[in-house]
Chain A
Amino acid sequence: MVKIPTKVLLVDDEKDFVEMLSLRLQEAGEKVHTAYSGKECLDTLKKTGIDVIILDIKMPGMDGMETLGEIKKRFPLVEVILLTGHGSTETAVEGMKLGAFDYLMKPADFEELTAKLLGARKRKDEQEERIRLAEAKLLMRKSGGAF
């Protein structure tokens, strides 16, 4: 079976980390975009269709939680996996309450990361599928009324 690549946006201010993880994810067959700040992340989202964002919580300037808030406000269907470098799960759990799909502690286990990526992608696909069906139903009802 040919794998359909997930469009991943990797956001972290640690450039070497972003480079290495993105190469690794690409090697695993994903399509990876990168951003080094919250602002850059939002800019990329405007231009590019993204399935899942891997977002570092701790960044200078606009931090991960703030970025998460903006993402969920402007691109609610995009799934977010939080990366925490603190070992502080509390912030991550807060993030999940704000709509993040899940979190991972840095340095993250790659198997775990890919499993969560898959889960996030699946949730997004299912949600989009539901929306499509609902829209189709709506269209049918409308056209049904017209006749």
Chain B
Amino acid sequence: MRMENISLLLVDDENDFRQTVAKRLIKRGMNVRQASSGQECLDSIAKDPVDVVVLDVKMPGMDGIETLHRIKEMHPEIEVIFVTGHACAQDGVEGIKTGAFDYLCKPIELEHLISKIRQAFDKRIREREKQKEKDFRAKMEQQMIATERLASLGTLAAGVAHEINNPLAIIREAAGWMKSILQKDELASMPRKGDFEKALGKIEAGVERVRRITHQLLGSVKQTDSTISEVNLKELLNETVALHQKEADDKDLKIIQEMGSGSGIIWTDPYKLRQVLINIINNAVHATDSGGRITATIETFDDDVAIRITDTGRGIPREHLEKIFEPFFSTKPPGEGTGLGLFVSRSIMNKLGGEINVESRLGQGTGFCIKLPKHPHVKSDLDKK
């Protein structure tokens, strides 16, 4: 281990002793600061924390034990080595109880001190790594909880959607039947015929709204008959853009495709991927006012491919950005958007082993980026079963 990485604070009221030791430690390459009292030590740490403090127990004013307490209050991660007068092991033990790393008795042997400092520093590095790992694990767990929550929510929603579809079909046929009866000659002069027709129209519109929701929900979770095949992304993107071309032309929007130099061929589920692209381009067309521009690019990397759809539209407010992937979040008026497009897109991307990300600036536009592996991870599929 390299000594220059260690920053050390040497605290002792005996100037000669302190300076001698400091000089010798600096020679060994350590970064050494000095303090002549407990208070000075605390001030120094408050300004800029160190890794290890070597602390004399017997000092006028604030003594070593008190100083140690205060250091640990401010920075529990700093390791403190106690230096006690000769034959004063009692103080050293007291120090360890208070949280010191270890203690040394005067007179100090330099090599001994250096090896203790080194051990204390080692401990700090281990603690730091442990903390990092803990943070990482916590983050991962949080992510997994979120993913699982969405997955089970999706499964539940699809189950409900499926159960709703059958009675919905009955309602639709019943309303349709009544409508066709009303059109018969025998009922041409039926009283309040218009009212009946109006009500039936409302029923049909309502059924249509529910139908759109259930179909999108079902599309999100159906995973048993996923078909992985060789897909030419350029063609797929081209086809999908063509689907929106008319709407874009009507709004005087330009859709620009930049295919990049890669082959654009990957293995994935073309139907699912197309659904994601349709959702994103659809949103882009809706969010961009006339005269705007939508750019679709394909970028090829070593193991994966990124498709970016950028628009010059209205952008997404920051407070909405976190919610746009949640089910039933929509800014469109009721009945126009199901609030499921991006939710479904994200669950599809998860299933395909990819990811979907968004960047947006109000008034400047929004960019969606979907990343897919060139080859799906077959193993994870098997694991699921």
Contacts and interface: CB of A to CB of B under 8 A. Distances in A.
A74 interface: no
B227 A17 contact: no
A75 interface: no
Contacts of B227: 90
B177 A107 contact: no
Interface in B152-191: 161-162, 165-174, 176-177, 180-181, 184
Interface in A90-124: 90-91, 105-108, 110
B212 to A, nearest CB: 11
A130 interface: no
A137 interface: no
A87 B272 CA distance: 12
Nearest to A108: B169
Interface in B194-224: 207, 211, 214-215, 218-219, 222
Contacts of B168: 107
B172 A107 contact: yes
Contacts of A106: 165-166, 169
Interface string A64-86: 00000000000000000000011
Given A17-B166, A27-B181, A87 B219 contact: yes
Interface string A14-38: 1011001101100110000000000
B176 A24 contact: yes
B381 to A, nearest CB: 16
B271 interface: yes
B225 interface: yes
A86 B162 contact: yes
A89 interface: yes
B180 A87 contact: no
A87 B218 contact: yes
B324 to A, nearest CB: 23
Interface in B335-382: none
Contacts of A105: 215
B173 A21 contact: yes
A38 B219 CA distance: 26
How would you classify the secondary structure of chain B's contact residues: helix, strand, loop or mixed? helix
Contacts of B184: 27
B169 A86 contact: no
Nearest to B184: A27
Contacts of B169: 14, 17, 21, 85, 106-108
Contacts of A17: 166, 169-170, 173
Chain A interface residue bracket vs B: 20 to 34
Contacts of A88: 218, 222, 225
B348 to A, nearest CB: 13
Nearest to B181: A27
A89 B215 CA distance: 11
A105 B165 CA distance: 10
B173 A20 contact: yes
A133 to B, nearest CB: 37
B165 A28 contact: no
Interface string B7-27: 000000000000000000000
A30 B173 CA distance: 15
B211 A107 contact: yes
A24 B174 CA distance: 8
B165 A85 contact: yes
A28 B180 contact: yes
A106 to B, nearest CB: 5
A21 B162 CA distance: 19
Contacts of B170: 14, 16-17, 20
Nearest to B166: A14
Contacts of B171: 107
Given A17-B166, A20-B173, A106-B169, A91 B225 contact: yes
Nearest to B183: A27
A90 B171 CA distance: 26
Contacts of A108: 169
A24 B180 contact: yes
Given A20-B170, A110-B173, 12 more contacts: A23-B173, A27-B177, A27-B181, A27-B184, A86-B218, A106-B165, A106-B169, A107-B165, A107-B172, A107-B173, A107-B211, A110-B176
Interface of B: 161-162, 165-174, 176-177, 180-181, 184, 207, 211, 214-215, 218-219, 222, 225, 227, 271
29 contacts: A14-B166, A14-B169, A14-B170, A17-B166, A17-B170, A17-B173, A23-B173, A24-B176, A24-B177, A27-B177, A27-B181, A27-B184, A28-B180, A85-B162, A85-B165, A86-B162, A87-B161, A87-B214, A87-B215, A88-B225, A90-B227, A91-B225, A106-B169, A107-B171, A107-B173, A107-B211, A108-B169, A110-B172, A110-B173
